[in-house]
Structure 1
Amino acid sequence: MSADEKLDSLTKGYEGASTPAANYQNATRWGNLMFLSGKSSRRAVEGKLGSDIDLSEGRRIAREVALELLLVLREELGSLSCIGQFIELQGFINASEDFKGHAQVLDGASDLLVEILGPVGVHSRSVFGAVSLRGGQPVILRAVVGINS
């Protein structure tokens, strides 16, 4: 099964990537690099990891946001087969002061990228805890992706 088919099976009912909410674009291509803007869950989910949302749900949310990044990539490129390497993933986690599972939350996104893209989905990453995120979202992800010429 191709990466596009895998994505389709996980995004039934989606009408493509969400549109930007302000004066920016979902992605900017510079040469063979694609820089993806921060994305969040499509669901109206709010809260902090560690107080309102548990680790398991946080991983599910990160997985959903990774799907959104892949939808953006497919809209920009026409097919996920154009991805040469998923280079970097950055995760921002809206967390309570005592929460320590940031990396485990981001594992939900990392695991999904490898599930869909295979070895091309293996990436470097950084995760940051935040006092708050836009709209009260629990997880926001951004990425840099290498594109085949």
Structure 2
Amino acid sequence: MSVGRIDDRLAELGLTLPKAPAAAGAYLPAVTSGSLLYTAGQVPFVDGAFPAHGKVGAEVDAETAKSLAAVCALNGLAAAAELLGSLDRVTRVVKVVGFVASDPSFTGQPGVINGASELLGEIFGEAGQHARSAVGVAVLPLDAPVEVELVLEFV
């Protein structure tokens, strides 16, 4: 993978692209179709472990979940970079889909997924503005509090 302007931007933000997560089942971490790249759902692995487990609004507070959504987005970018060779090929973040494992009384899913959206805006600027869904779910794989998928346009 070559170093470019997005790598420079990550460094300015004090971020390092993690190693691309391996598939945990019968799927690929990212695929392309035409000029679009789709990531598989990314959970908040940091060095192979979750910083937190459980439902947002119960075991995990909303601010922690928001930061974990940013981790998910960074993991998605790592999968994209591995497939594309460089994030400099990304011309637009098209859509973000975020899933929040929610306590039944928790209704702040959009605020949680803002963690991913805000990070993508900081990294890509105007090209990081995107359409989005933020969905509350009963449970996520491995008891993750949040999961994020990305759709990216590239050249």
Q: TM-score, normalised by structure 2?
A: 0.89
- CA offsets 1:54-80 (integer angstroms, 9 cap, x no match): 111011100111110111111111111
Give runs of aligned pairs for residues 86-105 of structure 1, distance below 5 A.
Answer: 86-105=93-112
Name stretches of at least 5 consecutive residues in structure 2 with no aligned partner.
Answer: none
- Kept in 1: contact 2:56–2:100 (CA 8 A): yes
3-state DSSP class of the match of 2:118?
helix
Question: Between Structure 1 and Structure 2, how many residues are aligned?
Answer: 146
- Structure 2 CA distance for aligned equivalents of residues 119 and 75 of structure 1: 23
Give runs of aligned pairs for residues 111-126 of structure 1, distance below 5 A.
Answer: 111-126=118-133
- My pick for the range that moved more, 125-134 or 69-78, is 69-78
- Residue 126 of structure 1 deviates from its aligned partner by 0.2
**What CA RMSD, in Å, does the superposition of the two structures yield over aligned residues?**
1.4
- Residue 4 of structure 1 deviates from its aligned partner by 1.6
Residue 54 of structure 1 is matched in structure 2 by: 61
Amino acid at match of 1:2: R
Matched, 1:2 2:9: no
- Residue 23 of structure 1 deviates from its aligned partner by 1.3
Matched, 1:84 2:87: no
- Structure 2 CA distance for aligned equivalents of residues 81 and 11 of structure 1: 15
- Kept in 1: contact 2:73–2:150 (CA 8 A): no
- Structure 2 CA distance for aligned equivalents of residues 7 and 69 of structure 1: 14
- Kept in 1: contact 2:70–2:116 (CA 8 A): yes
3-state DSSP class of the match of 2:66?
helix
Amino acid at match of 1:92: F
Amino acid at match of 2:34: G
Residue 106 of structure 1 is matched in structure 2 by: 113
**Pick aligned residue for 1:145 from 111, 134, 152:** 152
- Structure 1 CA distance for aligned equivalents of residues 134 and 94 of structure 2: 15
- Kept in 1: contact 2:40–2:149 (CA 8 A): yes
Residue 135 of structure 1 is matched in structure 2 by: 142
